[in-house]
């Protein structure tokens, strides 16, 4: 599953922190383009891709808001 985080809406640090948080539950591939941070994930264990993606997106949003968007 692929998640696209627009660069002007999400903080890069927040996305990295979110990926790190959910590393135990999925494998990740990260890419940065001119306009977005792209996170490709494959869930492991008992969780689905969608579940991990949803939780990760929430975490990234919270971290972007709390940490101040760069």
* Given 25, 38, 47, 55, the residue binding other proteins (CB under 8 A): 55
Nearest CA among 61, 53, 52, 56 for reference residue 9: 61
CA distance 25 to 43: 6
Site string for other proteins, 22-41 (x = CB under 8 A): -------------x------
Give the list of residues 6+ apart from residue 21 with CB closer than 8 angstroms, or none. 56, 59
CB 37 → other proteins: shortest distance, Å? Answer: 12
Q: Which residues bind other proteins (CB under 8 A)?
A: 3-4, 6, 8-10, 35, 54-55, 57-58, 61-62, 64-65, 69
């Amino acid at each position: 599953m692929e998640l696209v985080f627009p660069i002007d809406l999400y903080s890069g640090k927040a996305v990295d922190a979110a990926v790190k948080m959910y590393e135990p539950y999925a494998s990740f591939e990260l890419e940065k383009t001119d306009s977005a941070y792209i996170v490709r994930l494959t869930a492991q264990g008992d969780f689905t891709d969608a579940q991990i993606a949803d939780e990760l997106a929430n975490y990234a949003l919270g971290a972007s808001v709390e940490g101040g968007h760069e």
